[in-house]
A and B are shown apart, each in its own frame.
Chain A
Amino acid sequence: MKKWGEIALGVVTSIGGFLEVGSIATSVQGGAIFHFQLAWVLVLGTASLAFLMEMTGRLAAVSRRTYADLLRERFGYRFFVVPLLAVFIVSLLVLTSEIGGVAIALQLATGIAFRWWAIPIALIGWLLLWRGTFSIVEQGTAMLGLVALTFAVGAVKLHPDWGTLGRALLPSTPSRDSARYWYIAVSMLGASISPYLYLFYSAGAIEDAWTIEYLSVNRITAGLGNLFGGGLAIAALVTAALVFEPRGIQVDRYEQIALVLATPLGRAGLVLFIATLCITCFGSTLEIALAIAYLLAQGFGWQWSENLKPGKDARFSTSYTVLIVLAAVPIALGADPLQLTNLSMVVTAASLPVTVIPLLVLMNDGDVLDTHVNGWISNTALVVIALLSVVLLVAALPLQLLGGG
C-alpha cells in the first residue's frame, strides 16, 4: 500500500514537474506556426526522457550512487570535467530562463516590469532551499504544478481534430520554412530532454533512499509521469495551433502566450496561465539550482543533501546560493526571457551527448548494476537517443543561425 502511495506521488510529481518555461514556450511556438505538425517531436522527447530517467533511477537504486558519482568513478576525473562543465553552463542558462518565466508571470499579473522581480524571486527560492527539505522542494512545487492541467482542459474545449492530431504524432517533414521547423524541433527536444531532469532524478533517488525494492516504483514513475507530462506539452501545442495558427499569430514575446488560454477559458484561463507559468517555472528554478549544486558536490566529493542543515554541507549550500543569485542577474538587467529560453533550449540539446553516451557504458556494467543491466529494449532505446543527441549537437548551431530569427 505504501509503495502504491509512493508511485502515485512520483507520477503526480513528474506530471507537475514536466512543464516549465522551455516546454511551454517551445510547444506554443511550434503550434502557432506549424499547427499540430511538430507533436511528434514531443512524443520523441518524452519517450527519450522516460528512458533516461528510468535508467539513471535504476542506476541510483541498485548502486546507491548517483549518475554523476558513477561518471566520475568509472571514467576518471579528467573525463568527468567535460560533462561537469557542459551541464553546469547549460543548466545555468536554463535556470536564468526559469527565473525569467516566473518574472514574466508576475509582470503579467501586476504590470510591474519583469526585471524588478528577478532578485526577489531568487531570494524566495534561496530561502526555500535553505530552510526546506528535499520532499518540500520536489513534491510541494510539483503538486502545485498540477495547475498545468489547465492546458489539457483548454485543448479539449477547443475541440481539436483528433484524427489530424493522431497523424501528427508520427514524424513528418515540413512543407515550408524548413529552417524554422527544425530549429523549433531542436528547441522542443532540448526542453524535453534537459540533463538537469535526469541528474536531479538520480540525486532524488539517493535523497529518498531508494533500494532495489524501488525498481518498480522507478519504472512506473518514469514511464507514467512522463507520459502524462508529455501529454500536457502536447496540449499546450494544440491550444496554440487552434488559437494562434489560424490568426497568423507567431510568438515573439511571452506577453502573447497568455492569450492561448484566455481564448478557450476566458478570464479563468488568463489567471490559470499566469499561475501555471509562475508555479512550474519556480519549481524548476528550485530543481535546477539543486541539480547544479548536486553535480558540483558529487563531482568534487563534498558532503551533500537537501535534507541536511546548511551548516552540515556548507559547500553544497553555498553553491546553490551563489548559483540562484548569479542566474537572476541577466533577468534583472533586462535580458529578453523568450530569446534566452530559445537559446538555452538549443544549447541544452547540443550538450546531450556528453551525458547520454557514457550512460551506454554504465548501463551495461555488471560491476555496477549486477543483474539489473540494460536489456535489449533499453539498449536499443539508449543507442537511438545517443545517435539523436549527436545529430542535435551537429545541427544545433547551424539551426540557431538559420532558424533562430
Chain B
Amino acid sequence: MLQSASARRAALALVVGAAIAGCGAAPELDQQLETLSSWTATLELAKERHGAAAISTTYATQLADAARSALGKTEQQIGHAVHSRIDSSYAADALDSLRGAIRQLDAETGR
C-alpha cells in the first residue's frame, strides 16, 4: 500500500513537472517569428484598408491593440527561443517591424 502510494506520488510529481515544463516552455523561434510577421502583415493591410475608408477607426484601433498585446507576449517569450546571434538578429528585426507597423497604424488612425 505504502509502495503504491509512493509510486502514485512519484507519478504525480512527474506529471505535474511535465505540465509545468510544458506550460512554461516558449514556442519555437520559427513559430514566434511567424506570429510577429502575421501581425505586421495584418496591420499593413488594416492601414491600407483604413486609408481607403473600408474599415472604421474603431475597428482599426482594436487591431492595433490586439497586435500590441501579441507583441508584449512575444517580447516576454522570445528570449527563451533565441539560441544564437543570428536568431537574435531575426527576432530583433521581426519585433522592430511589428513595432513600426503599430506606430504607422496609430498614426493613420490619429492616435
Contacts and interface: CB of A to CB of B under 8 A. Distances in A.
Interface string B29-47: 0010011011101101110
A228 to B, nearest CB: 28
Contacts of B6: none
A32 to B, nearest CB: 9
Contacts of A252: 35, 38-39, 70
Contact of B34 (A250, A255, A258): A250
B38 A107 contact: no
B54 interface: yes
Interface residues of A, number: 23
Interface string B19-62: 00000000100010011011101101110010011111011011
B15 interface: no
A276 to B, nearest CB: 15
A269 B53 CA distance: 12
B82 interface: no
Interface string A221-251: 0000000000000000000000100011110
A105 to B, nearest CB: 11
A247 B46 CA distance: 12
B11 interface: no
B55 A270 contact: yes
Contact of A255 (B41, B45, B62): B62
B75 to A, nearest CB: 16
A270 B54 contact: yes
A262 B55 contact: yes
B54 A269 contact: yes
B102 to A, nearest CB: 14
B38 A270 contact: no
A259 B46 contact: yes
Nearest to B61: A111
A270 B35 contact: no
B55 A259 contact: yes
A117 to B, nearest CB: 14
Given A249-B45, A253-B66, A270 B37 contact: no
A249 B58 contact: no
A74 interface: no
Contacts of A371: none
A341 to B, nearest CB: 16
Contacts of A405: 27, 31
Given A249-B41, A249-B45, A267 B54 contact: yes
Given A111-B62, A256-B63, A270-B59, A247 B54 contact: no
Nearest to B63: A255
A262 B63 CA distance: 13
Contacts of B55: 258-259, 262, 267, 270
A360 to B, nearest CB: 37
B56 A270 contact: yes
Contacts of A108: 58-59, 62
Q: What 10 A-B pairs have minimum CB-CB distances, sorted nearest first?
A: A266-B54, A111-B58, A250-B38, A247-B41, A255-B66, A249-B41, A262-B54, A253-B66, A262-B55, A248-B41
Given A247-B44, A249-B41, 12 more contacts: A111-B62, A243-B45, A249-B42, A250-B38, A256-B42, A259-B42, A262-B49, A263-B45, A263-B49, A266-B53, A269-B54, A405-B31
